[in-house]
Amino acid sequence: MALKNEDYPISVQFDFDAGTFAPQEKSVERKVSDLAMMFHDTTAVESTVKAGDPLVYEIFYYGFKTSVSDMALGTTRIQPGKVGDEYYMTKGHFHEAYDQPEIYFCVKGEGYLLMETHEGEFQAEKWTRGTISHIPPMWAHRVVNTGSEPLVFVATYHLAAGHIYKDVEEKGFLKCLVEKDGKPTFVLNDKRK
């Protein structure tokens, strides 16, 4: 089969200090207002948005699409911070395609990877720099930054995976991570009580 331009090997360069890589195809920013329905303290959401609507995280993408494959790279940089007592986190999603897994690699910072199935199985993985987690198909996934520096992780997945946010927007995850007595603590999500 004749090779097309996109079928040749390609590399990008990761910057461990910044938590980004170059070249990039695109980046997306999410602020507190973009995550308004995700945090349990709606009064704190309102006042945080009014006080300047801070950046929560950025995602940097590169799609290594070839004529026969669709492997993609995404790096997410979550700022340290809280809305009320709840730590900054990603929205979280299920993959649209039921057979699509993903690998997450924590390269900076600390926190937790929360995962949950439609049947209500919940699992949280403690993350420090160097933790690599496999997210099996059919598990929703969200990352929470419980540290005092940015948490950066690299994700690899197939573009065919797709993203579904609706379920997480409506129900959240079974447990939230809040600061209690200065420590990250799991509490049951109000929407599930």
Cβ proximity to Zn ion: between 102 and 125 the closer is: 102
Neighbour-count burial of 169, counting CB atoms closer than 10 A to its CB (0-12 exposed, 13-18 middle, 19+ buried): middle
Least distance (Å) between residue 177 CB and ligand PAN: 15
Least distance (Å) between residue 73 CB and ligand PAN: 9
Task: Tell me the C-alpha distance between 173 and 92, whole Å.
Answer: 9
Which residue's Cβ has the minimum distance to ligand PAN?
74
Least distance (Å) between residue 75 CB and ligand PAN: 8
* Residue 88 interacts with which of Zn ion, ligand PAN, none, CB < 5 to 8 Å by class: none
Residues 175/114, Cβ–Cβ less than 8 Å: yes
Task: Tell me the C-alpha distance between 56 and 83, whole Å.
Answer: 10
Give the count of beta carbons closer than 10 Å to the beta carbon of residue 68: 8
Which residues is 112 bridged to in the sheet? 126, 144
Residue with the two structure tokens 């990761």: 14
Q: Which of residues 96-115 bind Zn ion (CB under 5 A)?
A: 102
Which residues is 62 bridged to in the sheet? 73
Cβ proximity to ligand PAN: between 102 and 110 the closer is: 102
Least distance (Å) between residue 102 CB and ligand PAN: 5
Least distance (Å) between residue 142 CB and ligand PAN: 6
SS3 call for 88:
coil
* Residue 91 interacts with which of Zn ion, ligand PAN, none, CB < 5 to 8 Å by class: ligand PAN
Structure tokens at 4: 């097309």
* Residue 74 interacts with which of Zn ion, ligand PAN, none, CB < 5 to 8 Å by class: ligand PAN
Residues of this chain that bind ligand PAN (CB under 6 A): 59, 74, 76, 90-93, 102, 141, 155, 157, 161, 163
